[in-house]
Amino acid sequence: MKKLCWKILLLPLFIYFIFFSYSLASATETSTETISANQWFNSQRINVFIILIVFFAFVLYFIQKAKRGGSLFVRRIAGLDAIEDAVGRATEMGKPILYISGIEDMDNLQTVASMIILGNVAEMVAAYDVPLIVPVCLPFVVTVAEESVKQGYAKAGRPEAYNRNNVRYLTSEQFAYAAGVNGIMLREKPAANFMFGSFYAESLLMAETGLSTGAIQVAGTANIHQLPFFVVACDFTLIGEELFAASAYLSREPKLLGSLKASDLAKFLIMVMLVFGVLLETFGITKFTYWFFVQ
């Protein structure tokens, strides 16, 4: 198996060197006439292609490892432990829980991560018998949110407790959505607000209103410009990649844990290559940096 993994890792490098040497050789020839044509492959993005193949090889390796029962340690993430506390608090207070999944569609990775977390939150909520309100901004996300919540309730063994009316489409307009969510926060007074996904200028409007109602707030986004608002207005904030790690942390599913471990290994390699690149740059060798440059 190890040999196979090494082959998977080395194959793209081998392909690249063949391709790179070919492109260097062809670059020396003088072109006379060029005719443009549709192409299936953008050779200027070969670096993205190779890095993705290497990353996917890592993911597949760690998924296999997780499936075989190998121990994959994930450190404690404080914000995620707070979710269960918040659900417990809502149960004690007899108040609902509000889950906001951001304002981007399902083609955004943050929304996908948010839907996985929603499934886990729904499972937790079903066990405690607390209403879970999910106001949604985009029509397609409504259907995915319904599925996630329904599956969460089914996993908890309480499919009959699922209330379809609690997954609500509000509007696709950003600030109208924020106004609608604020209205829900003020009138239904949820004990906990969870905000996971892709947020923009509406983030502070919602987080500030939630703060004023006294709800426990846990938020997470990878939109760097909105993180400061969540940091100041929420009790716990998942910063950037913690949002993607959350789904693996909560579910402990081999597939998700495998991708989390793979991203850790990729980060380690990035750090090593960064130090290496800095040294090369200092000695005036720029080819290494140029390889990672994306046009």
- Which positions from 54 through 83 interact with other proteins, judged by CB under 8 A? 55, 72-77
Among 52, 84, 129, 157, binds other proteins (CB under 8 A): 52
The residue among 6 and 175 lying less far from other proteins, judged by its C-beta, is 175
CB 151 within 8 A of CB 116: no
Beta strands in the chain (DSSP E): 97-102, 132-136, 167-169, 192-198, 216-221, 236-239
Q: Does 13 bind other proteins (CB under 8 A)?
A: no
Least Cβ distance, residue 18 to other proteins (angstroms) = 22
Burial bucket for residue 240 (CB in 10 Å: 0-12, 13-18, 19+): middle
Does the CA dihedral 249-251-254-255 come out positive or negative? negative
10-32 burial, b at 16+ Cβ within 10 Å, e below that, comes to eebeeebeeeeeeeeeeeeeeee
Site for other proteins, residues 136 to 175, rule: CB under 8 A: 140, 143-144, 146-147, 169-173, 175
Q: What is d(CA 46, CA 172) in angstroms, rounded to the nearest whole number?
A: 37
Window of 3-11, 17-25, 29-37, 223-231 that interacts with other proteins by CB under 8 A: 223-231
Window of 1-9, 20-28, 95-103, 238-246 that interacts with other proteins by CB under 8 A: 238-246
Q: Does 231 bind other proteins (CB under 8 A)?
A: yes
Window of 13-21, 24-32, 119-127, 231-239 that interacts with other proteins by CB under 8 A: 231-239
Q: Does 37 bind other proteins (CB under 8 A)?
A: no
Least Cβ distance, residue 234 to other proteins (angstroms) = 13
Site for other proteins, residues 185 to 204, rule: CB under 8 A: 186-187, 204
Token output for 239: 């910063």
Q: Any residues with CB less than 8 A from the CB of 243 and at least 6 apart, and which? A: 110, 113, 114, 117, 196, 220, 221, 222
Site for other proteins, residues 250 to 279, rule: CB under 8 A: 260-261, 264, 267-268, 270-271, 273-275, 277-278
